[in-house]
Structure 1
Amino acid sequence: MRLLLTLSLLGCLSACSMTPTLQRTAAPVPPSFPVAAATPASASPASALGWRTMFGDPRLRRLIDLALSNNRDLRLATLNVEAAQAQGNIQRAARLPAVGLEATRTRERSVSGDGHSQASREVSQQSGVNVALSAFELDLFGRVRALSDAAFNRYLASEHGRDAAQIALVGAVAEAYFAQRLAGEQLQLTERTLADWRQSLELARLLKQAEQSSSLDVAQAEAQVALAEADLEARRRALAQADNALQLLVGSELPSDLPAALPLQRQVVIAQLPAGLPADLLLSRPDLRQAEQLLVAANADIGAARAAFFPQISLTASFGYASTSLGSLFDPARRVWRFAPQISQPLFQGGRLRAELRLAEVRKTEAVAQYERAIQTAFREVADALAGTATFDRQMEAQLRAVTAAERRLQLSDLRYRAGVDGRLELLDAQRQLHAARQALLELRREEIANRVALYKSLGGGLHERDLAETAAVRAAQ
């Protein structure tokens, strides 16, 4: 037994690693973003900014809470973490000896004698108690350790994947909510516009009856009302589809006690984010950490594949007592032991081991490519959001001027029409222009908010409910 423990200890201490050193290349992106935004001196990283601070709408906060509790995709990501953790525990257990207690009792009847004499029958029994070590592999070349490391890194990758799924969910709920608000406000605008145009149609019909206008004016007004009615149905359909998309993300039916929604123009979404930072900031994003851990796991698989070319040494041993009588089972004279070391060396397997090594190397190369692509994708997401931040404010100002000008034109066209200077066609065109300008303003406001959400998400925000500084202060006070 001492020999067994000594060999096990030496095997664990002398294990070497066949895993190659992982060389991390420079990120395949520029060192800084192409568009730099001004960063307040007191700003914290976006990843430290809680989503409750980012989004000021109480209704949106409640919806995000519900989504984090009920969303099926996030639940699957959490279950994947638990499965990866269990798999890692299984692989880690393989690095330790498996010891079991065995108790046996057998009864056997045997027949002795030949065909010329009377056969004799004997009944024998045997009892035994053993502590057994079953096929424990001495990991001299690091195969078992490499498999354990790969499983652990995949568990870490699943945790980062779950974090990335949460960030994506928070961003998706916010985007779907603002899309729903846009659809609702566009529907309200269309309803108000349709009511105004129906009044204009009634006025045109009255003027026609008084022989102060022609049938052409009535036909033009009827066509404009018909177009508005068609647009109204399209807006209703868009609102219903936006409701369905939001409900799917939340994972349950929307409760009736939600706080009142804020209009798009009053939405409180933090605009100033710390965007003027180097591109290395992206490496803290959970999806990039996930890709990195998968790369480390693929590298460990190469070590396991290399170690498979070398001998595998395993130990099987048992120590206990055996006796034909239960009363004398634990008599020192009945002590028995068995020690059976085994060594196996692959000689010919038809190229299977080389193919497995080649497969592990190819998968590592794939993991490198996926890691670099994830970095490039993250860089583009931030760069696109920064480009939007740099242009949306000026575009909003220009669109507001366009709405103001369209309102002024409609007022003047209406006065000229009532004075008989212009025809009704000019008035209808002014009404359509104002309606289109207002719809475009709503759409632009929603895009501006969505761009802020995209920047927040692309910089790693949305993982925490509260600001990290606020959370740390609360914990310190406790």
Structure 2
Amino acid sequence: MTHSLSLPQGPVTLPVTMPSTPTTRPRQRTHAFTATAAAVLATLVLAGCNTAPARPDARIAMPEAYKEASALAAAQATDLAQPAADGSRWKPAEPSEAQARGAWWETFGDPTLNQLEQQAEAANPGLAVAAARVKAARALLSSSQASRLPQLGVSAGVARQKPSAAEQGLSADQNIAPSSLWQAGLSASYEVDLFQRVANSVQAAEADALASQANHRSVLLSLQADVAQTYFQLRTLDAVVALLTQTASLREQSLQLAQRRLAAGDVSELDVARAHTELATTQADLQAQRGERARTEHALAVLLGQPPAAFGLAAQPLPADARVPLVPAGLPSALLERRPDVAAAQARMMAATARVGQARSALFPALRLTADGGFASYELRDLFLWSARSWVANAVLSMPIFDGGRNRAGVNRAEAVLEESVADYRQTVLGAFGDVEDKLSGLGSVRAQTLSLSEAVVAARRSAELADKRYRAGEDSYLTLLDTQRSLLAVERQAVQLRGAWATGTIGLIRSLGGGWAPTPPGQPAAAQPTKS
């Protein structure tokens, strides 16, 4: 193993244990000091050795562009170029490059959504848990940084003792009176950072703190996206409920019409039975959607940190011209700077790297400097006399010789954890790329379905209108009218669900991209890029 050596900066002053009796001659004392200082200085030269391995190379192939981004852009361009015949297209909102990352939902232009996001950020218990973990990580970092500084302490006390005559080397008939020893002093200790054990522990704690902060941002982003998606799911269900309510009203009118025609002898009882069946089926479907709407509202209440019984949101169907932003996918290289889960995985990898160095340092010598000084006296009144002073200074160099393989096992474990963190980082990055591609593909599919469905809605409404007129005129059977009404309900319902899917899919894309569209704020370091293979 090769280590780079560097001398410590500035002069080195070391306390050395000196005998308290004047029996040593000055020349011997000088030689002893010189030898001790030289040995300790040679040890300090090793303090520049770093046992941590080099930064891991994740070797991830970086795509130049997203495969699905071009298809989505083409679909958006086609949709914007063609006018909607039925006016069912939502309003596209251009993304703002100056939009703050934490307020991306404001581009939807919905005041209710803005208020819900604020409530969730203030009261969600899961976010509070993540914030508490950030505080704990920062406290551990402060604790690790304290190891770089000398440790000082003060003590004072009294001891009452009565030694035996044998302990004093006296005859057994000697009676030794008990005595009290008063003490007051100051102690200091400092561990010289040989092989950067302390530095690696601090670096690992710093990386843990960064990972905790990134996890907090990830939880916050997930919470914001969950609130927005649940909100639009709720609005979509409101639109479905409104559609089914309108359909049930039409079914009731059809039943009444069939009953009148039955009374007039124009139709058979079969038409009345069919009309009654369709009305009951629509009403059952309506109740099911209302139940789904209630469960979605309960889920939103939990996200807001409120009990479902104390929360309610008025019905507000998602309009056909809902404002949905067009989200630029950007470059894959920018994804690594934006996704908090990628930043957390990278920080965990850096922490594991530092802990390998920390574990390896246990195989090498450790140097600890200690000093104690103060006063000791058998009488309290004489405690602070100059003649009662005492002091001792030590420089202890220790190194394990045989530990049963404990330290080597610790190194092996740290290296295994590092390998795991590298693989986890690669998996997180690849998963992030795949997540973005999935969201882009999903949005492109929804956009293509909407283009085709908008024409189907117009045709279905026209068919239902004509079938109703022909049935009232007695030119067609009720079965034909029923078939066109079913087709119209299915197409309109699919159109409503697609509007909701476009909004929730856009939110999913924003989440997969790591938030809003603002670049990295000035003064904040960007995440490191993985090496291309």
Tell me the TM-score normalized by structure 1. 0.88
> 2:121·2:220 contact (CA, 8 Å) conserved in 1?
yes
Distance in structure 1 (CA, Å) of the matches to 2:435 and 2:401: 52
Give how far 1:244 is off.
Answer: 1.0
Counterpart in 1 of 2:183? 128
Structure 1, residues 274-327: CA drift from partner, whole Å, max 9, x if none? Answer: 32x321111112111111000000111110111111122223320111122233
Distance in structure 1 (CA, Å) of the matches to 2:42 and 2:220: 44
Structure 1, residues 169-227: CA drift from partner, whole Å, max 9, x if none? Answer: 11110000011111122112111111110121122122222222111111211221121
Distance in structure 2 (CA, Å) of the matches to 1:112 and 1:13: 50
Residue 461 of structure 1 aligns to a residue in which SS?
Answer: coil
- 47-56 vs 440-449, which deviates more? 47-56
Question: Which runs of 5 or more residues in structure 2 are unaligned?
Answer: 1-11, 17-36, 78-92, 523-533
Counterpart in 2 of 1:77? 130
Distance in structure 1 (CA, Å) of the matches to 2:314 and 2:185: 68
Distance in structure 1 (CA, Å) of the matches to 2:288 and 2:383: 88
> 1:33·1:383 contact (CA, 8 Å) conserved in 2?
yes
Residue 65 of structure 2 aligns to a residue in which SS?
Answer: coil
> 1:310·1:346 contact (CA, 8 Å) conserved in 2?
yes
Which residue of 14, 24, 38 maps to 1:3?
14
- 43-52 vs 186-195, which deviates more? 43-52
Give how far 1:431 is off.
Answer: 0.9
- 207-216 vs 338-347, which deviates more? 338-347
Instruction: Kindly report which structure 2 residues correspond to 1:49-448, keeping only aligned pairs within 5 A, or say none.
Output: 50-110=103-163, 112=165, 120=175, 122-134=177-189, 136-253=190-307, 261=316, 263-271=318-326, 273-275=327-329, 277-284=330-337, 285-448=339-502
Residue 44 of structure 1 aligns to a residue in which SS?
Answer: coil
For the pair 1:18 / 2:29, whether they are aligned, the reply is no
Question: Which runs of 5 or more residues in structure 1 are unaligned?
Answer: 470-478
> 2:58·2:422 contact (CA, 8 Å) conserved in 1?
no
Residue 269 of structure 1 aligns to a residue in which SS?
Answer: strand
Number of aligned residue pairs: 465
Distance in structure 2 (CA, Å) of the matches to 1:458 and 1:9: 54
Residue 381 of structure 1 aligns to a residue in which SS?
Answer: helix
Structure 1, residues 16-69: CA drift from partner, whole Å, max 9, x if none? Answer: 211111033343442321133559999628874732532311011100000000
Distance in structure 1 (CA, Å) of the matches to 2:41 and 2:162: 40
Percent sequence identity is 33
> 1:163·1:463 contact (CA, 8 Å) conserved in 2?
no
Distance in structure 1 (CA, Å) of the matches to 2:114 and 2:496: 22
Distance in structure 2 (CA, Å) of the matches to 1:260 and 1:59: 12
Distance in structure 1 (CA, Å) of the matches to 2:398 and 2:239: 74
Distance in structure 1 (CA, Å) of the matches to 2:95 and 2:500: 27
Give how far 1:354 is off.
Answer: 2.0
Residue 3 of structure 1 aligns to a residue in which SS?
Answer: coil
> 1:8·1:138 contact (CA, 8 Å) conserved in 2?
no
Which residue of 28, 31, 34 maps to 2:64?
31
Tell me the TM-score normalized by structure 2. 0.80
Give how far 1:126 is off.
Answer: 1.6
Give how far 1:266 is off.
Answer: 4.0
Distance in structure 1 (CA, Å) of the matches to 2:279 and 2:288: 14
Distance in structure 2 (CA, Å) of the matches to 1:28 and 1:372: 10
Distance in structure 2 (CA, Å) of the matches to 1:192 and 1:258: 21
